Structure formats: structure tokens, C-alpha cells
A and B are shown apart, each in its own frame.
Chain A
């Protein structure tokens, strides 16, 4: 099993619902977040293009955050989800430095926190909170090894890219372009 997410940059309107849903679902403290929206504007008027991306942890196959963790608090669970065990984390910040996507942050309680692909919802057969609320249905989630999953189907017929592939982390967020 290999969980992954596809984000349709043509359908995303940048409403921020995914951000709020995540904050609510995961009790993210005020002023922090595990996912966010990037607006990427290229060109000058009148030839301007905008790309909207809902970003979060890439749950990389070759995850530097897991490798550099001195205590083993950062680890990978079933489906390739990168997680942090809070009471093993010493808050050294190594994983925050190691992430090319700045996907981790220091929780006010001291430990490092990040997106979990809502694995507590996956266990109940639900989709991640951000995917469930997206009003334009631009987020596709599922198992890459299952050809009938939403994410596999979304990637089949569209052009896609990953962010900073040169970082060598084998990220698992696919942006449909």
C-alpha cells in the first residue's frame, strides 16, 4: 500500500477550506497549520498565470526527516505515512531543518507536529479531512498501488508534477497541471 494525494491546480480556487478543516479535525493550535495554500503567480499583466496549490507533508518515500531523527520519534507507518510520536520527540528541530517543503512545525507543547494524512480517519474508512471538505473536489486521495483508487485514476489521464524532485525525497503529493 502506498498512500498518495493528487491536487488539481486547475480546479483549486484557494478558498482555504482544506486548511480550516485540518485545523478543526486535528486540534491544530491557533496560528498554526499542517496544510496551507500557495499562490504562484507568473508573468506580468496582461499575460499573467496563477497556480494555486494546496500543500502539506509530501510523505516522501525517501524521507530525510525520518533519517535525521535522533530518537526515532519520526517514523513511517503502513502506507508510507510519515508520523511523529509526540512523547519520543525531544524538539531538537533536525527534522524541520531537513524538510525541503517546510511541512513540519514546532507545536507550542514542544514536540514537532505535521500532517498525518488523517490516518485516524483512514482507519475508519474515511478520507482525510482536507479531501472530504474540498468544495471543488480538487483533492484526490488513495492507494497508488490500487489502479481504481481516486488518486491513481486522477494521475492516469493528466499531466502532473511533484515539488522539488531534485531534492531526491520522492515526494508523494502530485500536482495536476
Chain B
């Protein structure tokens, strides 16, 4: 029988402690939309470089229409999260190499305009009646079309930086043991790529395109499941605080939401549907796509919420 009990009566500061969970819904929304944007941009760039614009029309031309919107909404959520909002411009008066948030701010400064230019370069092709009204805009459009391939390379590269950054933003905090794993950068990138593929897949009307996207998505889901197992194994083999962090998902308070909504409904079940579809069964594409999109969102919420209750013990 345990003879010893440990009581810690910690701080009791009404306006400080309840607020140390300082990140609320804005951050997971922002991380999710950033990942989604990265996923769409990556594959739009990839299929452009592979000269598949015709076969993969939705992925290259239509899905990127979601990106500027996703980024603007994401950035607005981030802005709402700031407590000293009038000073947000301070992000852009300095470059802090050691701060992931500084990397992210500057990446978004490059990615967001690029996503607008990409969409603009396809306006006339997709909407023949579109008119830029000003001659200078027409000239700019011609320039954008001419350099589309360079833009595709830039988009792929920046999409990887953006996707990895959404994970590193969390993993850089060693004070929150659940986040403090280097797997998180690549895991959030993979999840972002998967949600991007799901969005393109949902929008596409071409059977061939959906098949290609669905195969890629299955690979992403496979990698994601592997990385999640990898992450939990890493925690269980680490120190006390990280073992406790892993137990939030292995019997603790986030177990149900994590396994049901992220793993089963967000990854395993849609992957099964995708396999069935590839085998010839008819499954409406919106079902796996929607499940993947919701699973990715829940995953961000779970990680941000759960991470903030993990801490060093002393």
C-alpha cells in the first residue's frame, strides 16, 4: 500500500492561472487553414511542374481559389488571438531566426500574395468574360502567366515551409511536453497535404483526377498514421512529463475525441472508403473528403488544447 501522499497546493491567482491556457479556438483554426492552404498549393504547384494542368484541372486551377480565402481567414483568426493587436505590425519590423512565429509571419507575407497572383493568373482562362479593366493589370497578368512555372516551384517550396511551420510553432515549446516533439512539424505537414488533397478531390468532377488524388491521399493517410504512432512511441519512451502527455490520448481525457474523431473517423474510415472506391464500389466523394477535412480540424484542436495542460512538474 502506498504510504505517501503528495499534495501540491499551487498558486491561486484568479486572473492569471485560468488564462495560462492562453491559446483558444483561434490558433487551431489558423493552424488548420494554414495546413489546408499548404496542401492545395503544394499539389497545384506539383501538377503544374509535371505538366498535368489538363488532366488535373481542378487541383491546379480551381482548388487554389480556396487558398487566398483560407489564408485571409486564418490570418484574421491569428489577429483575433493577439492581445495587443494595435502592435501587430511589430512582426514585420524584425526577423527573429529563433522564433517559429517570426518565420511564420514572414512565410505568410510571401505565401498570401503568391496565392492571390496564382488565382488571378487563371481568371481569364476560367471566366472568359473576366476583364481586368486596367491595362496595367492585364500586363501584370501576362507576366504572371509567363512565369507560372517559377511560381509553381515557389508555391511548392513555400507550402512545405508553411505546413511544417504550423507544427513547429507548437513543437518549439519545451515547456509543453505534448508539443515538444520534432515529429510534429512533418506530421502537421502531412495532415495539411491530406486535407488539401481532400478539398481538391471534393471539387473535382473528373474521374481520373479523383483517382489520382485519392491514391495520393491514401499515401498521406498512411504516413500520418505512422507518424502518430511514432509520436506516441516517442513520448512513452521519454521522460515522465511526456509519458503523462501520451496518456492524455491513451486513457486520459482526450482519448475518446482523439481515437474516434481523429484516428477512426478522420483517417481510417475515409481511407477505407477511398480503397473501396478505387476497387470499383461507388462512394460519393464528399463523404471521405468531408471526414478527412473534419478529422484534420479536430486534430489541431485536440493538440492545441491538450498541449496546454501538459507541463513540467516540480
A residues in contact (CB < 8 Å) with B: 29, 31-33, 36-44, 64, 67-73, 87-94, 96-100, 102, 105-106, 108-112, 163-164, 166-168
Contact = CB atoms under 8 A, between A and B. Distances in A.
A110 B4 CA distance: 43
A168 B312 CA distance: 11
Chain B contact residues, majority secondary structure? loop
Interface of B: 3-11, 13-17, 19-20, 22-23, 81-85, 87-88, 90-91, 93-94, 96, 98-102, 104-105, 172-176, 239, 308, 311-314
A106 B312 contact: no
11 contacts: A31-B13, A41-B7, A67-B99, A68-B101, A91-B82, A91-B83, A92-B82, A97-B23, A97-B176, A99-B175, A100-B174
Contact of B22 (A39, A40, A106): A106
Contact of A71 (B7, B16, B94): B94
Nearest to B175: A100
A102 B90 contact: no
Contacts of B173: 64, 68, 94, 97-98
Contacts of B176: 97
Contact of B96 (A70, A100, A108): A70
A33 B13 contact: yes
A10 B311 CA distance: 26
A70 B105 contact: yes
A87 to B, nearest CB: 7
Contacts of B101: 68, 70, 92, 94
A71 B98 CA distance: 11
Nearest to B90: A71
A157 B311 CA distance: 32
A98 B175 contact: yes
A93 B98 contact: no
Contacts of A41: 6-9
A90 B7 contact: no
B96 A89 contact: no
B175 A97 contact: yes
A73 B94 CA distance: 10
B277 to A, nearest CB: 41
Given A39-B9, A71-B90, 5 more contacts: A31-B14, A38-B10, A41-B6, A73-B90, A93-B83
Contacts of B13: 31-33, 36
A99 B311 CA distance: 9
B216 to A, nearest CB: 34
Contacts of B81: 92-93
